[in-house]
Structure 1
Amino acid sequence: PDRDAHRLAAYRYVLLGEVHDNAEGHRRRLAALTEAIEAGWRPAIAMEQFDRERQADLDRARRERPGDVDHLIAQAGAAGWEWSLYRPVIALALRHDLPLIAANLSRDDARGVMRGGAVFSAAERERLGLERPLPPDLAAAQTAVLDDSHCGHFPRAMLPGMLNAQAARDAVMAAALREHAAHGVVLLAGNGHVREDIGVPRWLGAKPAEVLTVAYLEAAGPHEAGAYDHVVLVPPVQRPDPCGAMHQTPR
């Protein structure tokens, strides 16, 4: 996929994944984007890292200090992200005056969805495609991913709410992409959101030929088979084993 960066412009929707804290994955993704943009492609850049209600803050920060990445992040960025990894791609967007789109559902709204709160109006639920129960195949696949990511110990009582919250995030990001697809749009998001079977593509309503999905993975797990158009494998980041404590035998 890195060698085929010029092909990105052939798609209306380009979804580029990430392992959030993997710097090499960010570097490889940035290189592909930079090559395509410097060749003349001018897509909008939608980012999971900016919550949708911060769009006005993002736009105002650009007007106040054009080209100032740190000011933009300070005014519109959500807490909890390692922003040093995103500075280069934001700088790329500002340098070429590309639209930057705050695409994500906020953590507060996601929690509201989990609790069954009325986060969306009836009209918005219909616009997002959330007015019906989740399709069984999507719920089953997402359940497997959640269980795997929680070392087989995901609390079953929380499952319906979590499934609804994940679907709401993906549907909201899909809606943001549709609104900015006229000249092409890129989504930068975690690999799970880029998956064709359970992620944002599921909610886009686009023709398959219009969508390109690229995952930047540290390893191709059992759930990833066929889930992306392309996979770029990157060296893993050393982290503590998240399942280690759960698998230790009590003394």
Structure 2
Amino acid sequence: MKRRLLLCLPAALAAGCAAWQRPAPADAPAQRDRALDAALRSQPLVLLGEVHDNAAQHALRAQALRRLLRTGRRPALLMEQFDREHQAALDRVLATPGATADALIAAGWPQGGAGWQWPLYRPFIELAFEFSLPLVAANVSRADTRRIIAGGLAAHGFDGAVPADIAAAQTQAIVDSHCGHVDTALAGRLMQAQVARDQFMARQLAAHAGRGAVLLAGNGHVRRDIGVPRWLPADLQARCVSIGLLEDAGPPAAYDVAFDMPAPSRPDPCTALQRRPA
């Protein structure tokens, strides 16, 4: 199974990677861990990407986050997996003596946690309990995004002035991810939901910049070129590091540091989107 490591020298983290290096197979895990640790410690704001169902990536991130916390850092933990309207419920569980990760998941998803594989995220929640980290709901709910798609970003408290390159790239990504079954016009409206999520994540990073923060989110959100970093103030853009955990290559230049890991076996996502015969 191929494992590739895409990295920059620490001094160049803020500028993005220009190339990737293939480590010797015997040293690949150790070199990968050292590079990930260096990236996590390089800036106070860490944007740590993922492919949502890749268990190996989650395990790698959880181990690296534990090593970071053992150095004494206590960043806020921002999670895409929780919607913003449940923040008060999360805070109550975190403040409850003897509360568990499962109790917090139930508070954040009172109607069930469909859509997320919670065993993969439980280790991060357990770290928040163990090290007394603030756990921040970093997502905009589906109900909110439906309103944004219908009424626009500005009407719902977001910045409607989306740069053309972000709008074009995000729209095309939506077309591609739907295997061509969403046309450009619809994708352009759906793009606003992705932008709203990125803007809200950026606001949460800014709100917790004083103590530092780690954002756990999909790779698309943490891209430096079109994702969350583009919505940070300039001074915070310089204080963040974008880390992509990719599968079988990807756009490494979109991240400051990127790690390429094998994809698990999964069904073809386009099969479910195939049009039924007339």
TM-score, L = length of structure 1: 0.88
How far apart, in 1, do the equivalents of 2:187 and 2:102 lie?
Answer: 37
Query: What is aligned with 2:130?
Result: 95
For 1:231 and 1:174, locate their aligned partners in 2 and report how far apart those are by CA, in whole Å: 20
Partner of 1:46 in structure 2? Answer: 78
**1:218 equivalenced with 2:250 (yes/no):** no
Once residues 92 and 246 of structure 1 are traced to their aligned partners in structure 2, the CA distance between those partners, rounded to angstroms, is 37
Contact residue 15 and residue 213 of structure 1 kept, 8 A: yes
User: 1:106 matched to which residue of 2?
Assistant: 141
Q: Does residue 259 of structure 2 align to residue 227 of structure 1?
A: no
CA contact (8 A) 2:252 2:258 kept: no
| 2:57 maps to 1:25 | yes
Distance 1:73 1:152 in 2: 34
The more displaced of 52-61 and 206-215 is 206-215
Give the distance between the partners of 2:249 and 2:39, measured in 1 at CA.
Answer: 23
1:242 alignment partner, one of 242, 259, 269: 269
Identity of aligned residues (%): 50
Does residue 68 (structure 1) correspond to residue 100 (structure 2)? The answer is yes
Q: In the alignment, is residue 173 of structure 1 matched against residue 208 of structure 2? A: no
Q: Does 1:14 align with 2:46?
A: yes
Q: Deviations over 1:26-57 (max 9, x none)?
A: 00111111111111111110000111111100
Q: Is the 8 A contact 2:171 2:188 kept in 1?
A: no
Aligned equivalents of 2:153, 2:260: Cα separation in 1: 40
Q: How far apart in 2 are the matches of 1:55 and 1:233?
A: 33
Further displaced range: 228-237 or 151-160: 151-160
Distance in 1 between residues matched to 2:232 and 2:101, nearest whole Å: 30
In the alignment, which of 45, 53, 58 is matched to residue 90 of structure 2?
58
Q: Which residue type is aligned with residue 209 of structure 1?
A: A
Aligned pair count reads 241
| Separation in 2, partners of 1:246, 1:195 | 26
Q: How far apart are 1:247 and its partner, in Å?
A: 7.9
The 2-side partners of 1:173 and 1:157 are apart by: 25
| Structure 2 contact 81–116 (Cα < 8 Å) conserved | yes
Aligned residue for 1:9, secondary structure, equals helix
Shift of 1:18: 0.7
Which residue number corresponds to residue 154 of structure 1?
Answer: 182
Tell me the distance in 2 between the aligned counterparts of 1:47 and 1:53. Answer: 13
Cα–Cα, structure 1 residues 137 and 100, in superposed 2: closer, same or farther, change >3 Å? same
Of the structure 1 ranges 135-144 and 188-197, higher mean CA displacement relative to structure 2 is found in: 135-144
Please state whether the residue corresponding to 2:34 is helix, strand or coil.
coil
Instruction: Name the Cα RMSD after superposition.
Output: 2.3
Could you tell me how far 1:246 is from its partner in structure 2? Answer: 6.9
Q: Which structure 2 residue ranges, 5 or more long, are not aligned?
A: 1-31
Q: Unpaired runs of 5+ in structure 1? A: none
> What is the CA deviation profile of residues 151-201 of structure 1, one whole-angstrom value per residue up to 9, with x for unaligned ones?
233223312221111111100111011101101101000110011111111
CA contact (8 A) 1:12 1:211 kept: yes
Q: Distance in 2 between matches of 1:175 and 1:66?
A: 31
Give 1:7 deviation, angstroms.
Answer: 4.7
Contact kept in structure 1, 2:41 and 2:68, CA below 8 Å: yes
